[in-house]
Structure formats: C-alpha cells, structure tokens
Amino acid sequence: AQSVTQPDIHITVSEGASLELRCNYSYGATPYLFWYVQSPGQGLQLLLKYFSGDTLVQGIKGFEAEFKRSQSSFNLRKPSVHWSDAAEYFCAVGAQTNAGKSTFGDGTTLTVKP
Amino acid sequence: DTEVTQTPKHLVMGMTNKKSLKCEQHMGHRAMYWYKQKAKKPPELMFVYSYEKLSINESVPSRFSPECPNSSLLNLHLHALQPEDSALYLCASSRWVGNQPQHFGDGTRLSIL
C-alpha cells in the first residue's frame, strides 16, 4: 500500500532564510507526487507536481521540489522564505490506479519569524 | 480565486437539523471528492464521484449522503449529525480519478451544537 511520511511536524524559519520540507513515500511503481499548501481558513492549493521526466520541478510562489527515487523522497525547497509562506504543507502521492485514492502526509506547519 | 466554489462558508446546525453543502466546478473535471478535515490534520477522504457515479465511499456513516446531480455539481446532505462531525468539509475536483492533482475549494466550516 502506498504511504507518505512528513517527518517534521513543525518547522520555524526566519524570514529570508532558506527552507526545506521533507517528504518520503512508499509506492509500488513510478509515483505521481504533489505538494499542497493550506493557509488558515482556506482549502488546499497545489504548489507543484511530479509525474515523470526532469526530477527537479518548479512550482508556484517560488517553490521547487526534487524527486529522488533512490531515497524515496520528494522534498520541497524555497531559497528565501516570506512571512506569507507561513501555512500548513502537505505532501501527497497519487493513486496507483484510476480506481484508487490519493494519500496525504500528516502535514508540516511552517512558522516564519520576522 | 478558487476554481471550486463551496457554499455555505460556515454552517451551524443542531443535531436534529437537515442541511446540505454544495460544491461547484466549471473546469470540465469528471472526478469530484468530499473530504473531512479536523484541525492540524490532513484531509480524510469521504466520497469520490467519477463521471457522476459514486466510486469510493470510505465507510462514511449514513448521516452523510452525497449526491452528484451533474458533472459540475456535488452536494453533501447532512442529517442527525453528532458533535464529533464538526470539522472543515472540503470539496475537490480533478480531471479524472487517480493520479491527477486535485483542485480544492475553501471548504465549509461546520459546527454541530
């Protein structure tokens, strides 16, 4: 069965500092991977996705993620964090079949210090 | 602006009331989803509709009744809910079921008195 682990429950960074959020997955084939962000009181917004090809994917809001098959990881990065990036971040893996369901990680809460 | 619209944004209801949540998308997506989300937790899948047919029911209690009248609309009918049903209810859509990214609405914040 597929699974997603986000090892960091809570991360605090200073504004302007770099950010890396970790995501590890378990999947039986080539995974479809996603990062979503959720600001308070809002739904989830897709930041980026990986289906195949280039292992470094660019997303919205200056985020990028790198797919590493050997490490079963799909870590999210941003070179310089803004106060508005404070939110909940979810990594997800798409279903293996068209009848299946996506699996979300438990999320990482990002706090940005001024 | 979100492309998936949910109404109402907030709902307070008693345990004997009947109410409905509504979700609408006009992106031509053929898969639609209902999720329940508690604070500081990931969304929990409740139902999936594929081409207007119910394809996944995650053993949700019968007090929650989904309906998909057409490819753009998804409803969740609520009846005799319990206090533990208080949560954020999220609707999402995707091009098809499975490996596609999902587009989420901003949710309905439901409180059961």
Residues 6+ apart with CB under 8 A from A70: none
Contact A46 B101 (CB under 8 A): yes
Contact A98 B97 (CB under 8 A): yes
Paired with A26 in beta bridges are A3
Is the CA virtual torsion A81, A87, A88, A89 positive or negative? negative
Chain A CB within 8 Å of residue B57 CB:
no
Nearest-10 Cα torsion for B67, B70, B73, B74: 20
Mutation for A interface: B46, B88, B99, B109, most A CBs within 10 A: B99
pLDDT for B47-72, tens place per residue? 999 999 999 999 999 999 999 999 99
pLDDT for B63-103, tens place per residue? 999 999 999 999 999 999 999 999 999 999 999 887 788 99
Give yes or no for a contact between A90 and B42, defined as CB atoms under 8 angstroms apart: yes
Give me the mean pLDDT over the B1-27 stretch.
92
Contacts of B90 in chain A (CB under 8 A): 43-44
CB nearest to A101's CB, from B56, B96, B109: B56
CB nearest to A107's CB, from B42, B105, B106: B42
The Cα A57–Cα A74 span in angstroms is 10
- pLDDT value at residue A6: 98
Contacts of B98 in chain A (CB under 8 A): 94-100
Query: Does the structure show a pLDDT above 60 at B1?
Result: no
Give how far Cα A102 sits from Cα of A25, A78, A97, A112, B11, Å: 12, 25, 10, 29, 28
CB nearest to B42's CB, from A43, A49, A105: A105
CB nearest to A101's CB, from B2, B48, B106: B48
- pLDDT value at residue A80: 98
B112: left (phi over 0), alpha (psi -120 to 50) or beta: beta
Contacts of B103 in chain A (CB under 8 A): 46
Q: Which tokens go with B29? A: 């997506």
Contact A41 B41 (CB under 8 A): no
- Of the candidates B19, B59, B48, the residue with the CA atom closest to the CA atom of residue A95: B48
Give yes or no for a contact between B64 and B78, defined as CB atoms under 8 angstroms apart: yes
**For chain A, which ranges sit under pLDDT 70?**
96-100
